[in-house]
Amino acid sequence: MTEGAQGRGDGSATPTAWRAAALAILAGGAAVGFLASHRKVGRVVPLVTAGVALGCAVPVALATRRPPIGPDSAAEALAGAASPPTFTVLVGARDEANVLPALVRDVGRQDHRSPSGEPYFELIVVDDRSVDGSGEAVMAAARACGIENVTRVIRREGDGLRDGKGAALAAAQPEVCRGEVILVLDADARIEPFFLRRAAGYFAAGANAVTARRRIMNSESGWLAGAQADEQTLDGELNRGRWAMGGCSEFRGDGIMVRRELLSAVGGWRAAALTEDIDLSSRLAAVTGERVAWAIDAEVWEEPVRDLLGLWHQRLRWAEGAFRRAFEHGPAVISSRRLSVTSRLDFAIYVGQMAVPTVVAGAAASVAVTGRKRPLIAIIAGYLGVSAVLGWDSLRWERRPDGRPLGNGERLCRAFRVSLFNGLWLLVVPRALLNLGTRCGPIRYEKMEHDGALGPGWDEAGKGPAGS
């Protein structure tokens, strides 16, 4: 199947209002930070920053212990379901022939099947202008593992098409999918044979939008990979807590799961979305009032970003996408009558905290003018300290290779590591706002390269760390 040039766009038109808003946030936050050099005001800014952060972090940490749907209740709901939900596994890929066969094999091993062995799933891969034979590799792997009859490749080609994952997914809108639930995976994703069965339980229990827990393969290979693994764990803690508190919890890109009719109700995938996960989260919240459930026991494993330059480009895209989402969908979410006051307040707070790095930038500028370093140190310490507290709490989920919980010493070191790693956002956010406010021409999408290396505990039979 082929998508032509319809739906194309050059990505160059950033609304003037968004540009002005981005520069205003950058300037306003910097001004507040600069005031930290004032002898009286300087005592207030760090206290307010740390107080608000702690006031949000502690309730989140407590709420993660009482999710609306837990693994046991999800399994019970599936066991009692008359008709288990079916899935369309949707993958967007461009030149990923080295990793796609492994993912196809993982899908083929899924045990979410009828008593006679018929799969309760299908696989659709959008081959986004690949020149390395990605589509052919998918079909060859599908034939080899016996799922050729439930596998399709949609070829996306044409001149002037948008780049990016959202644009690729837009080539497979809900009407071409047969499953009741659409699951989005990245090309480098790895899933264990019970993944779909576990995920199905959350839908059987009443959820309509679910996101998987993201895990990082080869997290023991170095500081950078390990920090990304713990960052994903901390992010899961934050959004699982928001969900449990009634807040506007959100999808994360690898492991998005949404009922097909719900996706249709909000217009399907948007090719223009820079960050398709939070774009869809906000559209669902504003239009339908749906919030995203977190399936802690349905894990998607993926490769880490392996170098600092690649990490910088990825985080710039995430940060700019977050602001674009806020400008485009924020007013509709805040004013939605389908959402509770708690959900709308949660959304406002979550979006508002993105301005903290601009305050830090202003405080850093004040040091150059006044020489007073204490306010800057206090603000940064509060920012990183809250990350460390949430990191420590979230690491209760982690296990050693032998299945035992982390020791207190290792847990403390890793909480400190992920806190330092989150300091990257102090640099990324101001730059993303500057890019959004001043860029001329289209956004450049930096593709992450994958090498297809198996992580610790994975084998060619599809058995991963959680199943070892």
Burial annotation 347-381 (CB, 10 A radius, 16+ → b, else e): beebbeebbbbbbbbbbbbbbeeeebeebbebbbe
**8-12, 76-80, 370-374, range with the lowest pLDDT:** 8-12
pLDDT tens digit sequence for 208-245? 999 999 999 999 889 999 999 999 999 999 999 999 99
Domain assignments of the chain as residue spans, ordered by start? 16-64+348-438, 71-308
Token pair of 427 as six digits: 């640099």
| Three-class secondary structure of residue 109 per DSSP | coil
pLDDT tens digit sequence for 162-188? 899 999 999 999 999 999 999 999 999
pLDDT tens digit sequence for 357-391? 999 999 899 888 888 888 888 888 888 888 898 99
Phi, psi of 152 (to 5 degrees): -130, 145
**For residue 142, is pLDDT > 60?**
yes
pLDDT at 456: 46
250/281 Cα distance (integer angstroms):
5
pLDDT at 4: 37
pLDDT at 353: 87
126/134 Cα distance (integer angstroms):
10
Question: Mean pLDDT, to the nearest integer, of 60-81?
Answer: 93
Dump strand ranges (E) for 157-292: 181-185, 209-216, 256-259
CATH of range 71-308; options 3.30.750.24, 3.40.640.10, 3.40.50.300, 3.90.550.10: 3.90.550.10
112/413 Cα distance (integer angstroms):
39
**Is residue 363 within 8 Å of 33, Cβ to Cβ?**
yes
| Three-class secondary structure of residue 333 per DSSP | helix
**For residue 1, is pLDDT > 50?**
no
Q: Which helix (H) or strand (E) holds 264?
A: helix 260-265
171/7 Cα distance (integer angstroms):
9
